Amino acid sequence: MNWFRKWMLKRIIRDVVKQGGHKENIVQFYGLLIEGFDKEFTEDNNTTLDYFLTDCHTEAMERYLEW
């Protein structure tokens, strides 16, 4: 992903996760991601797609969060 796309997504995400009603915004954001994955990836079934997304989520948590 190029720098401009990362920059733009970071700005959008920062706005999505602001305090006050942010859970609904995050659910909608995840929904958009899932719609995109569903249209672009031809996985055999929902379980395979769910496992892939869970694996990506876990790797991102490990890579980007500092506990």
| pLDDT reported for residue 50 | 85
pTM above 0.85, yes or no: no
| pLDDT reported for residue 39 | 85
Considering just the CA atoms, what is the radius of gyration of the chain in Å? 14
8-59 pLDDT tens trace: 999 988 888 877 777 888 888 889 988 888 888 876 778 888 888 899 999 9
| pLDDT reported for residue 43 | 67
The CA distance from 29 to 26, in Å, is 5
Residues with Cβ within 8 Å of 28's Cβ and at least 6 positions away in sequence, in order, are 16
Q: Show the DSSP H helices in 1-67 as ranges.
A: 3-16, 22-40, 46-64
Query: Who wins on pLDDT, 3 or 50?
Result: 3
| pLDDT reported for residue 49 | 83
